[in-house]
Every structure is written in C-alpha cells, then in structure tokens.
Structure 1
Amino acid sequence: MKVLAFAASSSIQSINKQLALYAAGFLEGAEVETLDLNDFEMPIYSSDRETNDGIPEQAKAFYNKIGEADAIIVSLAEHNGTYSSAYKNIFDWASRIDMKVYQDKPVVYLATSPGPRGAAFVLDFAKNTAPFFGVDLKGTLSIPSFFDNFDMEKQELRNPELLEALKTTVSALKA
C-alpha cells in the first residue's frame, strides 16, 4: 500500500507534520511518501491567473501525487478556524483540475494544535466538505494540547487513550 502523508501547513516546525508522519508509521508494510507543501508554492489562485496562465505545474504535481497514492493521511493545521493559506491555495488550484481533488481515495483527517480544542474547527470543516472533493473519509481524530500529549524527545504520543484512538483511526485505511 502506498500512503501519502502530509500536514496542511507550510511551517517547517509543523506539529501537524509530526503527527501525520507518526500516524503513518502505524501502517505496517506501507510505503509512505511525505509531502511538504513548500514544494508546491505558487501564485494565489484567481480566475484571471487561470485564464491568462493556465494551471501551474505545482498544482498538477500535487494532484498527481494524490492520484498515485492508495491512501492518504492529512493532518490539518488550523489558522483562524480554517485551513492554512498555503493548503487552501494548493487545494484551490488542484480543484480546478478536478473538483474531486482526492479522487475517491481513502483518507484519514487528523488535526492538532497547542490548545485544548486540537484544531477541532478546521477538522469539522474538512469533514463536512469532504464528500464534495472526492474524499473517501475513513476517520478523523483531533489531538488536543499537542505539547502535553506528545513526547517531543521520543516522538510519540504519551497519552494512552489518544494513542489507541490514533491507531484505530489510521487502521481504517487498511479496510
């Protein structure tokens, strides 16, 4: 199984990237490819840009990476209650190729933040809009208070309930 894992964040120190990679590690035998949204930087989407210049190669590359995967893990960063600007822009461009950006692939949405809500707003938004974008949503999980629940030195969840919930959520990709 080829799994694509990424954080919907452009931060180099992204805790969502740490979570996505950690979660992917529970899929034994899977070939995991990690994306960095910084590799897909492009102009802010506008219909004028699309008309004048077409769809950027970076958007096509992102869309193709999704198409090549058997399953996807996305950990959503929350910026002011919604997607990060970097992810939203890539997503907007990719949706111009095909509205079903996720191409009916099995997907797990994760989210975390330093705060007690664990990016719950963006996770709810993504979950509610998933059917419109070709997401075969297999599960979602929010990890609240990341730095209290994740051991940065060992790179692992220290909260046993959250650890079990993460393993269960990610295992749904195998079904």
Structure 2
Amino acid sequence: MKKIIAFAGSNSSTSINVQLVKYASSLIEQAEVEFLDLRDYDAPIYSADIEKVGIPQPIKNLVSKLAEGDAYIIGSPEHNGSLTAFMKNTIDWASRVEAKFLGGKPVLLLSTSGGKRGAASSLEDLNNKMKYFAGEVAATFSLGSFYDTFDKEKGVITNEEEKQIIAEAIVQFEKAL
C-alpha cells in the first residue's frame, strides 16, 4: 500500500491548518497516511554560518522521513500574506539536505484561515515553489472562513459545497498516486 506523509507548516499547538490536513487525510482511501508534527523537527533560523557547523539533526530526520512517502499532503498556513516563517525555515533547511527533497512525488496542497480567502496567498506561494523541490502538485484546496465552515470538535468541514470541493481534490490527488 502507498504511504502518504501529511503535515502543516505551523508551529502552533492549535493550528487550524493541522486540523484541515488531518480531515483531508481521513478522506484518503487508497493509501496509508502518516501525520508528522513539524514541531518535532524544529531547527534554528537558517544561516550559512550554522550550516557550516552542521545541518540540525531534526532536519536530517525530517528529510529521511519524507523519503519514506510516496506522496504528500501539505497544509500551508499564512502569516501576512505569505508562508509562515516556520514553514519557510523548514523548507530552507530541508533543501540543504536534499535540494529536490519531495522527489518528484504527488502533492496535495491545502490552506485555511479565518478569513474568506482561506490563506490563498500562502497556498499560491507554496504552489509556485513546489517545482524547486520536485513536488508534483496534483491538486490544491483552500478553505475560507474556517470558523464558520469547520466543526473543530468533530474535525470535519460542515459546509456542503466545500466538502464537495475537497472531495474532488482528494480524487485528483489519489489518481496521481
């Protein structure tokens, strides 16, 4: 059975993007999904000086774990219209271990926020960067107005139209597996 590695680029213990990634993961039928908490792979802000001393072990462990996947589900939170510093830092370090760390494998990109755009700017930013890391984007999904469209206690999207849209994204992603 294929293995999907899922994570969100947030270091918040209450991340709504983590919740969306876990929901999307529950919809996958054709593969096993392993969720990674990127906080377990935290590293100092990237610096050439630090890299000269050595790449942080947590990042080496992350890249090794990513290599186990046949595909990826990645949640992209947004800070000030862009990727979070945490996500960007993780990407910067991972690319120092292996430039093409996603290995040409299929990717489902997700984003959400409390606003109507659902972190669409961050999603677009990450989508544009995937080519540099050999991520083959199979589908994207952005959930706007998270607090009005998602039941945090049940861990599900409550808006029927959004449920259909993410289901279609999952079908496209699974076709790429």
Q: CA deviation at 1:29?
A: 4.9
Instruction: Give me the CA root mean square deviation.
Output: 1.2
Q: Partners of 1:38 and 1:154 in 2: how far apart?
A: 24
Match of 1:17 in 2: 18
| TM-score normalised per structure 2 | 0.94
Match of 1:139 in 2: 139
Stretches of structure 2 lacking an aligned partner (at least 5 in a row): none
Q: Partners of 2:153 and 2:98 in 1: how far apart?
A: 41
What do the CA deviations read for 1:4-43 (whole angstroms, capped 9, x no partner)?
Answer: 1111101110100000010011112522111111101111
Match of 2:95 in 1: 95
Q: Partners of 2:107 and 2:101 in 1: how far apart?
A: 12
Task: Report the identity percentage.
Answer: 43
Where 2:139 maps in the other structure, the secondary structure is strand
After TM superposition, the structure 1 stretch with the greater mean CA deviation from structure 2, 81-90 or 66-75, is 81-90
Where 1:45 maps in the other structure, the secondary structure is coil
What do the CA deviations read for 1:32-61 (whole angstroms, capped 9, x no partner)?
Answer: 11111110111111111111x111111111
Q: Does 1:54 align with 2:54?
A: yes
Q: Partners of 1:155 and 1:41 in 2: how far apart?
A: 26
Question: How do 1:1-175 and structure 2 match up within 5 A?
Answer: 1-51=2-52, 53-175=53-175
Q: CA deviation at 1:118?
A: 0.4
Stretches of structure 1 lacking an aligned partner (at least 5 in a row): none
Q: CA deviation at 1:101?
A: 2.2
Q: Assess if the C-alpha contact under 8 Å between 2:100 and 2:134 holds in 1.
A: yes
What number of residue pairs does the alignment pair up? Answer: 174
| TM-score normalised per structure 1 | 0.95
Q: Partners of 1:130 and 1:6 in 2: how far apart?
A: 15
Residue identity matched to 1:39? D
Runs of 4+ off more than 3 Å: none
